[in-house]
Amino acid sequence: MEARYDAAPHILPAPHADLSLSHWQQLLETGDQHLFNGELFRLENYQAASQRLVLGLGHTCYRDQIYCNAHVAELVEAYGEAVLAHGLGVSAVAVTEDAYLPLMRRSHHVGEEPGKLDVFGGHAHPNQHLREGRPDLFRAMAEELRAELNVRAEDGAEFYCCGLVENLKTYTPDLVFTLRIRKTREEVLRSAPGASEAEELQELLFIPATKQALEIFLSTQHDALTPAAQASLQLCFGAVLQSY
């Protein structure tokens, strides 16, 4: 996987740039969500061929992402899909040493998909995840796992990038990874409460990393899963089970 970056910011057309600001301010004043307007990489374009994924990334922010998610139909009808923020997320399908797949139920205080079941992940940030001018998306994913699950570099085997998925409702993209955690389910349960962003999840659960268990889980819990989790689990289905 290769990523290229253009620092020029994506600007919403008038009057939506101002509306995005007022929408954000209203959320801060009236909601109980824990919000922070961080910088995001914007997916401008991508190419996929011969098991190689090349991403063209620009610059946007979480405030505009939240605004676009809330006004998708209006914006797409007026300007087309290209006007949206397209902030790039990162998601990981991880498997423990004893072959369990950890998932989380998102806190009701998070900005997106509160209360839904999800894989672990978040976003990559231009002000944190550039190395010699190029986006380091593997580092972004590693930091999200440490912040949410307390899985450190020494706890995980090598990351693999499985591909790119898109939320069909909001058009938001996620880069999906798999990895093997060098911890058992019980060890993860003991260490997870020490994660710096543990408050972002209200429940930690595990399903066996077997074909039958995943098929049952996806069919019975489809509506309880975030779109990113649905797509990530479907995309990584073969890769997760490859070593079992």
pLDDT at 240: 63
pLDDT tens-digit readout, 110-137? 878 889 999 999 999 999 999 999 999 9
List per-residue pLDDT tens for the chain, 244 residues long: 899 999 999 999 999 999 999 999 998 888 777 788 999 999 999 998 878 899 999 999 999 999 999 999 999 999 999 999 999 999 999 999 999 999 999 998 887 888 999 999 999 999 999 999 999 999 999 999 999 999 887 877 678 899 999 999 999 999 999 999 999 999 999 999 999 999 889 999 999 998 889 989 999 999 999 999 999 998 887 666 554 4
What CATH number is given to the structural domain containing 129?
3.90.79.10
Going by C-beta distance under 8 Å and a sequence separation of 6 or more, which residues neighbour residue 186? none
Q: Is the pTM here over 0.85, yes or no?
A: yes
Q: Which residue is it, tokens 């990038």?
A: 161
Domain span at residue 81? 2-241
- Domains of the chain: total: 1
